[in-house]
Amino acid sequence: QVQLVESGGGLVQAGDSLRLSCAASGRTFSSYGMGWFRQAPGKEREFVASISRSGGIRNYADLVKGRFTISRDNAKNTVYLQMNSLKPEDTGVYYCAAGARGWWRPEEYDYWGQGTQVTVSS
């Protein structure tokens, strides 16, 4: 198994940038495809971005494409989500996930972090 810890969330203004980090335990980090999801109050968890084991394949939700960038540093066992041009609609709890059998459905991931809050004010 792998344990994931997200960090980097906070309160920002619309148009600002924020970088989330997801630190993974274990020596098998490079064996896992990784994803970022988010959940707003009263809404279902939704896909944000995913990245393949080597980092060569990246997928994004339409709502964040062009603004967000997912990356990984396997030497540091860390996945990042660079968020630019943030909008109030981006507000939510952001979760890091590992072990993708797919790329956009939450049930396709095996391991999850505790989440980090991102709040974007207008």
Q: Where do runs of H (alpha helix) occur along the chain?
A: none
pLDDT value of residue 97: 97
Residue with tokens 């109030």: 88
Residue with tokens 């709890």: 93
Mean pLDDT in order along the chain per 10 residues (122 residues): 94 98 88 96 96 95 98 95 98 95 92 97 96
pLDDT value of residue 27: 72
pLDDT value of residue 5: 97
Q: How many CA atoms lie within 13 A of 119 on its CB side?
A: 5
Mean pLDDT estimate for the chain: 95
pLDDT value of residue 109: 95
| Cα–Cα distance measured from residue 105 to residue 116, given in angstroms and rounded to the nearest whole number | 19
Count of all residues that appear for the chain in the document: 122
- Residue 24 near residue 77, CB atoms below 8 Å: yes
